[in-house]
Structure 1
Amino acid sequence: MDLNIRIPDHTAQIFDYLQKGLFISSNSTNEDVRQLYDDIDENFEALSLYFGQIGYALERGNEYFYFSRNEPRATLEQKLMRAYYWIDVLDLFKTYDETFGPGFRFQPEQILVEANINVLLQNKLDGIRKHFSDKDVRKDVLDNMIRQLTKDSFLELENEKENTYKVMSSWHYLERLIESIQIYDETEDDEKPE
C-alpha cells in the first residue's frame, strides 16, 4: 500500500457505519451521513485501497456506497431467501406507486389506505407475511418491513410527527439486484423455425 495516500479524517466513522452492512447515501436526511458520503466520494480510491487491506471491498453504487465481502457458499441459501424477500418488497412498493424509488416520500398509513381499495396491493401486502409472522395483521407486517428497511438504511424517517419516510439512494442497490436476475424463457426454443 502506498504510504503517501491521504486517508480522510472520518475514516473510522465510515468504517463503523459501513461494516454494519449499512449504506451511505448521498440523499440522506442526516447531515453527518451526507458528510461521510462526500468524504468517500472525494477519496474513493484511497479508501478502497485502505479498506481492501483489511478484507473489505468498498463499492460504489448510484449515489451510495457500501462494503462487500467474499462469503462462504454455506450462506447461499440464506442469500436466496433474502433475494425472495427483496423481490416481494420491491413488487409491493412498485404496486403502490410505480415511481417509488430514491427521493420518494410516503407515509405507511397511505399504503394501508390504498390496500383497502386496491386488491392487488392487498394481496402483495398479505404475501409479505410469509417473511414475518403469518398471524400479523397488515399494519404490523408493513410496520415490521419499514422498520427493517430503515434499519438497513434503505429508508429514513424524515418527519417523525407526520410519520413520513424518505427513500434513500441505496434503494438503487435493491433495484439493481432484482434487474440482474436473468430468467430463461423456455418458449423461445419452441418458437424457433425449423
Structure 2
Amino acid sequence: MELNIRIPDHTSAIFDYLQKGQFVCSNSCSESVRDMYDMIDDDYDALSLFFSQIGYTLERGNEYFYFSRTEPRATLEQKILRAYYWIDVLDLFKTYDETFGAGFRFQPEQILVEANINATLQNKLDGMRKHFSDRDVRKEVLDNIIRLLVKESFIELENEKNNTYKVLSSWHYLERLIESIQIYDDTEEDNEKPE
C-alpha cells in the first residue's frame, strides 16, 4: 500500500532539531524555533504520519512538540532516579515561586538571594546536591540544574546581559509527568477495617 502524503517544506530541519531530543515550543526566544512550531502545527498530521514511517512518534503537548521514542529497556531503578530528579527540580522552582511555569522569567541570582532568606528553599537547593556532587556549593548546583534545563529545552537564556531565563512551554511536559504519578493512601483502607 502506497502512502500519498505531502511532505511539508523544512521537514529535514524539523527532523534534525527534534531527533536531538529537543522540544519545539511556541514561546521560544528563538524566532526560528517559533517558526518551526508554526510549521509543525500547520502540518501536524502529515508530519506525524511521515515520521511514524521512519520510526519516530511526533507528540503534541500544550504549546510544544517533541519526539517520543522507544528506548532500550532501562532498568526500573534508572527510571525512578530520573523521576526523582525531575520531581526535585519542580519542587525547587515551585518553592522559589509557586507561579513558576511556562512563560515565567527569572535570574538564577534571584533564586540564590531568596535561598539565603528562605530556609525551605535553602534546604531544597542543598538537597539537589545528591543529583550532582555533594561538594558543590549552591551556586554550582543551581548552575548545573540550569545547564541541564537549557540542554533539555525546558528553559532558554532570554537576555544574556542580565542573565534572564525564560521558561518554555515544554515545562508542561514535566508538570504532566509529575501529575501522572498516582499515590494511593493505604491509611484509608486500614481505617475501614474492623478491629
- TM bucket, shorter chain: over 0.9
Residues 30-41 of structure 1 mapped to structure 2, 5 A cutoff: 30-41=30-41
The separation in 2 between residues aligned to 1:160 and 1:71, in whole angstroms, is 35
Say if 2:164 is the partner of 1:164: yes
TM-score, normalised by the number of residues in structure 2: 0.96
Deviations 1:10-57 (A, max 9, x none): 111111111111100000010000011001001111111111011110
Aligned to 2:57: 57
Shift of 1:81: 1.3
Aligned to 2:98: 98
Shift of 1:190: 1.7
TM-score, normalised by the number of residues in structure 1: 0.96
The separation in 2 between residues aligned to 1:157 and 1:143, in whole angstroms, is 13
Letter in 2 for 1:101: G
Aligned to 1:78: 78
Aligned to 2:115: 115
Shift of 1:76: 3.6
The 1:65–1:75 alpha-carbon spacing in structure 2 relative to 1, beyond 3 Å, is farther
Shift of 1:73: 2.3
Shift of 1:59: 0.3
The separation in 2 between residues aligned to 1:85 and 1:193, in whole angstroms, is 37
Shift of 1:176: 0.1
SS of the residue corresponding to residue 158 of structure 1 reads strand
Moved over 6 A (4+): none
The separation in 1 between residues aligned to 2:152 and 2:192, in whole angstroms, is 45
| Unaligned residue ranges in structure 1 (runs of 5+) | none
Aligned to 1:127: 127
SS of the residue corresponding to residue 157 of structure 2 reads strand
The separation in 2 between residues aligned to 1:134 and 1:82, in whole angstroms, is 18
Shift of 1:77: 2.8
SS of the residue corresponding to residue 144 of structure 1 reads helix
| Unaligned residue ranges in structure 2 (runs of 5+) | none
The separation in 2 between residues aligned to 1:4 and 1:25, in whole angstroms, is 29
Shift of 1:60: 0.3
The separation in 1 between residues aligned to 2:136 and 2:40, in whole angstroms, is 41
Letter in 1 for 2:160: E
The separation in 2 between residues aligned to 1:137 and 1:71, in whole angstroms, is 34
The separation in 2 between residues aligned to 1:35 and 1:2, in whole angstroms, is 30
Aligned to 1:190: 190
Shift of 1:78: 2.2
